[in-house]
Amino acid sequence: MSKRKITVSQLSKISGVSVRTLHLYDELGLLKPCSRSEAGYRYYGELEMQRLQQVLMYRELGFPLAEIKRLLDDPSKALEMQKAAFQERQRELDTLLETIDETIHYLKTKGIMSNLEFLYKGIPKETAKTWRKEAAEKWGEDTVQKSEEHLSDLSRASIEALKQESELVGKLLFDLRFNDATEPLVQSLIARHYAVIRGFWGTSGSADLQADAYAGLGDLYVADERYLSQNGQSQPEFAAFMQRAMKYFVERSLR
């Protein structure tokens, strides 16, 4: 095997992983450099590059960093976990395909939603009921009903578009969670997040910019770990990042 070594900057450029993230992986013991220079600069070899490839694959599957480290340090369990992850992904894709079929049916028939079940497709009914009850307690039954009436008037295609935009923006923001919350790229995504939230609330175009409500949502992300959890794992760093970014957006753009 080649003895070629590359710097952390070169590895970042090749892999698309930021230098800051590579430093974090080193601190967590997830991806240690093969050597360091006398000045402390990190160097990586082919084994480390292969390990990073595995890390990125598991991240794509939604595994938390601690679990990825355990798997890579115990290869005997890796294939079993990969199989389970792909089976779960297959179930998610099956649900998505079913949703797409229903959307195609709507487009062909020009139907209108008669209920909100489509919005919660793939979410257990009891979970959806719990979320609705808590929303009514936090923001009032009248607010929740107005939002539901608005969503009921939308086509399934419009609901699906809102959901897809929400998921995309959330993923992009998650990838930037270690960045400065006030930087332009983050704030441009927060503006999209704000627009999506207003779409779900049914207040797009309203003269009331709902600055306090949007900032309060950021506080809720920190107070209730379920809102930004992924695969059952809480994301406190992401929640704190979103809170900072949303408050900055409110002060800069909504006040």
- Asked if 20 and 180 count as a contact pair (C-beta separation under 8 A), the reply is no
* Confidence at residue 114, expressed as pLDDT on a 0 to 100 scale: 45
Q: Rounded to an integer, what distance in angstroms lies between the CA atom of residue 177 and that of residue 194?
A: 17
- Using alpha carbons, select from 1, 33, 5, 2 the residue that is nearest to residue 19: 33
Q: What is the pLDDT of residue 123?
A: 52
Summarised one tens digit per residue, pLDDT across range 86-100 is 777 777 777 777 767
Q: Is residue 34 a contact partner of residue 48, using CB atoms and an 8 Å limit?
A: yes
Domains of the chain as residue ranges with CATH: 6-73 (1.10.1660.10), 116-254 (no CATH)
Q: Which residues of the chain register pLDDT less than 70?
A: 1-3, 75-79, 81-82, 85, 99, 101-140, 143-145, 147-154, 156, 230-232
3-state secondary structure of 115: coil
pTM for the full model? 0.49
d(CA 214, CA 205) in angstroms, rounded, equals: 15
pLDDT of residue 113: 43
Cβ-based neighbour number of residue 74 at 10 Å = 10
